[in-house]
Structure 1
Amino acid sequence: MKTSAVFSAFLLLLSLASAATTSSSSSSGSEKKTYPSTFRPPQVFKNANLVHVISLEKNYVKESINVLVENIDKSPQNEYYVPFTADQLSRVGGVEVKDRKDSSVGPFVAETVELEKSDTHYLRIRLPKALAPGAQQTLGINYYLLKAYTPRPASIKQEETQYLSYSFSAYCPSAYVTSKQKTDIKFPGTSIAEFTKLPGTGDIPEFPVQQGSKLTYGPFDEKPAGATHPVTVRYEFNKPVTHVSRLERDVEVSHWGGNVAFEERYTLHHRGANLSALFNRVKWQQSQFYQPTTWALKDLRFPLRAGSADAYYYDVIGNVSTSRFRSGKREALLEIRPRYPVFGGWKYPFTIGWNSDAKNFLRKTATGGYILNVPFLEGPRQAEGVEYAEVQVRVILPEGADNVKFHTTIPTQSIISAGIQIHRTFLDTIGRTALVIQARNLVDEFRDRELIVSYDYPLTASLRKPLVVFTSALAVFGVAWIVGRVELKFDVAAKK
């Protein structure tokens, strides 16, 4: 009787102490600039020489614009504009600008400029130092385009080869006159099925010129601002086109446990060609005996920090046993295999998680505060690459942490918002402080970019949980003692 009373009281106390709701505070990100539709960038620059490099080697597009900019105005200028369509701008991410000749120059700030009721928008680049009249500077503008490819044919058999198509402009879109330019396109292999041909100039009878796995359009003579010439290429890409529509990454810090817990929830899509017939598992198993190259996604590899432990992997059905985890002093690797091969048009949501020693990421400052240094993005490392449309990183700090600040080496143009929320769990009183950062249009080339979080954690806050546990235990035993003293016997003699 007494044991049952103690157990019931303990469960009641736990149910009252636990909470699963999260209250959020407002957070704001970088605001977009909106200009009227009549806006045109001032013609204060000229592109003396421009090389446009388009890399199609992975399942996202990486573009680099290396341009020698000359100030043709009579006054110093520090704003350079790059045009994009509205659709392109919604899929552009990871914008980074640097001086090609001097890496110490910077930082360069890139801001989005949208025009009202117009399909043409701009990326405004602010030069760290205004360019004097007649002066030149070599800019390196790098960015990524997500959801860029179209599979052609759109549907194929599971044993057939996948081809992707990409459309772009042979002339690099520019808001300024370009004196000389060329466009290089890099492919994952030499199997280029189709490409648009253009009349050549000088000694080159026809564009593009193919050299192995590269096509070159140009060099072209002077082109006016806004000049474009649409071209299309179609090439073999017999690999998965892996797209993560949303990644939710939680980093939970425990001072008392000396642990940092990681959990990542993926909503993964294959954006390649669809199957033209029903999936044949027998044929798939037979083909895997010869280990052929396939465009289906059949496994993922997650390199983790050395010392990671307790890895787990599950999907919407439950725990998945087709995984392998190796951890050592120098490296850790989690290899997972989905329940089924993921073909084009298919979706596979799943969750992974692991623990790590806090000393690998957390240190105490001389002033008594704490600094946490964790990767902003980890995720799988695949030869064909992985793109992320939306990323939410939530850093859950100990209860009572305040004065939270953060810095990340992820391009600021990709950060949508950042703010503080309250995360409540078992035995919390006021709830844990959680830093929530929303980002978009990232790729796996940003793996291991740093997220540095500084915060204060006073002694009174660190003692709050032990006091709550101690008080709760006393309350449990007190309730159990009171319940145990209750007399529940029937007085049979009095009844007679």
Structure 2
Amino acid sequence: MKFTAVAAACVSLISQVLADSTIAGSSSSKITLPATFKPPQVFKNANLVHIISLEKSYAKESINVLVENVSPEPQDEYFLPFTSQQMERIGGIEVKDRKDATVTGFGLEAVEFDLSSDIQYYRIKLPTPLPAKGQQTLGISFYYLDSVAPLPAAIQQSEKQYLVYQFSAYCLSAYPTLKQKTEVKLPSSDITDYTKLASSGETKEFPQKQGSKLTYGPFPEVPAGAVSPVKVRYEFTKPVNFVSHLERDIEVSHWGGNVAFEERYTLFNHGANLSEQFNRVKWAQAQFFNPQSYALKELRFPLRVGSKDVYFTDVIGNVSTSRFRSNKREANLELKPRYPVFGGWKYPFTIGWNADAKSFLKKKSGDSYILNVPFLEGPKQQEGAAFEQTQIRVLLPEGAENVRFYTTIPESSITGYTVDLQKTYLDTIGRTVLTIKARNLVDDLRDRELIVSYDYSLLASLRKPLIIFSSMITVFVGMWAISKVDVKFSTK
């Protein structure tokens, strides 16, 4: 009884979310403004803290800013500037109120005003207009993919790898900032080179180094649009995992009570290339001591509890160097590629598994169902992984209709969706397929929800068995009719 009550509460909550929200559409649609557009100077940044995390193979940035309305009228549009290069690599943008997590409703849309301009904007729509002299603390977070570069670009098999990241000590802003600082978090204290800036205060120069962290600032008032280019070079003896394409299929079977998952990866290591030919003997000798390496040698996939029938293949065929552990508390897939993936190398592969439909599928009411699955799973590595292009396909039963979806993935990364039909075995009209495309995702977004609601009537569920039954009857009747035909030659 307790489990039933909990399940009913979960279904009620999900249905309410779906009722209050529309289908997540294409976030690639932009607001078109005149080419002469300039963000109106109606705000100032009273205090800003810019945090850059380079602890993984991609850059994660956070901007915590206290915004003040300096105009006499209430304002609800805050513009966030990026360079054109950053716009191509940015993903996972989220905005929230730093002081009150219950405040929701922040809108985020890309602004298109002049494609030739190096500065582009995202427009943040505040939930409620900020009155004159009013203040609000915004927490803005996002990721940059493929933004670090190895230096040197080619090294030997046993050498350490160093990466370079370029940014601005002044956080790029469309508004003047009264006080700010930039913190850079690195994976280790081995920071071989970084740009130094002169200071007019008590500190002689920036940055201040504390272990694996660099701090630029605090800086006094900085005008809108000001930048101060800096560069940091640091040790990163791990692979730079970059998935250019991920195709994830989720197939729902009501009759089989099963949800089948399959993921197809095109994986690259964007780390330093080898300066000489790969030596397998040296590699085997080094593995005896298990040193750190910038080559990718294994992948770990934490799956949902209850996952089964796991398989792992690449372009050659089945790969036996894998291990799957499953019990009541965990389900982990550990696998090794056929070869260590060094910088510049590519490794395409496929994994798949089955799971009990009861873990993901709930009946809402009548003919309505709700499917709740992770939008993104993928490998969970210490060094992280980035996904440039992601396609999610949810294959629903034949006859499913009125399909809607909601996801907790940042809307700025969703580029579009379609609902089509696809014919498979013994289908007549074809199965309903929901396809969602996303860009610039990272493993930090693992296990974000994808909730799909649809209607599946009793008649639709009986369509396939009735067709199979009628087909068999037709075949038997046809065979009986043929058997009654007299094909003997007459003697007359």
Q: TM range, normalised to the smaller chain?
A: over 0.9
Rounded to whole Å, the distance in 1 between the matches of 2:278 and 2:467 is: 56
Q: Which sections of structure 2, spanning at least 5 residues, go unmatched?
A: 1-24
Match among 84, 87, 92 for residue 86 of structure 1: 84
Give identity over the alignment, percent. Answer: 64
The two structures, once aligned, show a CA RMSD in angstroms of: 1.7
Residues 340-363 of structure 1 deviation map (CA, whole Å, 9 limit, x = unaligned): 110110111111000000000001
Aligned to 1:329: 328
Match among 95, 103, 106 for residue 104 of structure 2: 106
Residues 57-110 of structure 1 deviation map (CA, whole Å, 9 limit, x = unaligned): 001100000111010001000011111011101111111111111111122111
Checking the alignment, whether the CA contact within 8 Å between 2:27 and 2:412 is kept in structure 1 is no
Deviation at 1:477, TM superposition (A): 3.8
Aligned to 2:154: 155
- The 1:340/1:463 distance shift into structure 2, 3 A limit, reads same
Checking the alignment, whether the CA contact within 8 Å between 1:29 and 1:418 is kept in structure 2 is no
Rounded to whole Å, the distance in 1 between the matches of 2:293 and 2:472 is: 58
What SS class does the counterpart of residue 470 from structure 2 fall into?
helix
Partner amino acid for 1:215?
Answer: L
What SS class does the counterpart of residue 464 from structure 1 fall into?
helix
Checking the alignment, whether the CA contact within 8 Å between 1:92 and 1:441 is kept in structure 2 is yes
Q: Which sections of structure 1, spanning at least 5 residues, go unmatched?
A: 1-26
Partner amino acid for 1:416?
Answer: T
What SS class does the counterpart of residue 65 from structure 1 fall into?
strand
Aligned to 1:60: 58
Deviation at 1:315, TM superposition (A): 0.8
Partner amino acid for 1:379?
Answer: G
What SS class does the counterpart of residue 161 from structure 1 fall into?
coil
Q: Which protein shows a greater Rg?
A: 1
- The 1:200/1:488 distance shift into structure 2, 3 A limit, reads farther
Rounded to whole Å, the distance in 2 between the matches of 1:176 and 1:311 is: 53
TM-score of the superposed pair, with normalisation by structure 2: 0.92
Which structure 2 residues correspond to residues 389-400 of structure 1 after superposition, within 5 A?
389-400=388-399
Partner amino acid for 1:276?
Answer: S
Rounded to whole Å, the distance in 2 between the matches of 1:120 and 1:485 is: 82
- The 1:361/1:203 distance shift into structure 2, 3 A limit, reads same
Aligned to 2:36: 38
Rounded to whole Å, the distance in 1 between the matches of 2:162 and 2:234 is: 5
Checking the alignment, whether the CA contact within 8 Å between 2:26 and 2:414 is kept in structure 1 is no
Deviation at 1:54, TM superposition (A): 0.4
Rounded to whole Å, the distance in 1 between the matches of 2:300 and 2:111 is: 38
Rounded to whole Å, the distance in 2 between the matches of 1:312 and 1:70 is: 55
Aligned to 1:267: 266
Rounded to whole Å, the distance in 2 between the matches of 1:299 and 1:284 is: 14
Aligned to 1:213: 212
Aligned to 1:349: 348
Deviation at 1:317, TM superposition (A): 1.0
**2:129 maps to 1:130:** yes
Rounded to whole Å, the distance in 2 between the matches of 1:29 and 1:53 is: 26
Checking the alignment, whether the CA contact within 8 Å between 2:261 and 2:352 is kept in structure 1 is yes
Residues 208-243 of structure 1 deviation map (CA, whole Å, 9 limit, x = unaligned): 000010000111111110000100000000001000
**How many pairs were matched up?**
466
Rounded to whole Å, the distance in 1 between the matches of 2:118 and 2:176 is: 21
Aligned to 2:420: 421
Rounded to whole Å, the distance in 1 between the matches of 2:222 and 2:104 is: 29
Rounded to whole Å, the distance in 2 between the matches of 1:409 and 1:193 is: 39
4+ residue segments displaced more than 3 Å: 27-30, 475-489
What SS class does the counterpart of residue 365 from structure 1 fall into?
strand
**2:35 maps to 1:51:** no
**2:443 maps to 1:444:** yes
Deviation at 1:469, TM superposition (A): 1.4
Partner amino acid for 1:62?
Answer: K
Residues 426-463 of structure 1 deviation map (CA, whole Å, 9 limit, x = unaligned): 10000000111101111011111111111110111000
Partner amino acid for 1:60?
Answer: Y
Aligned to 1:187: 186
Rounded to whole Å, the distance in 2 between the matches of 1:167 and 1:486 is: 85
Residues 282-314 of structure 1 deviation map (CA, whole Å, 9 limit, x = unaligned): 111111010000010011111011111000010
Aligned to 2:12: none
Which structure 2 residues correspond to residues 165-314 of structure 1 after superposition, within 5 A?
165-314=164-313
- The 1:481/1:29 distance shift into structure 2, 3 A limit, reads farther
Aligned to 1:470: 469
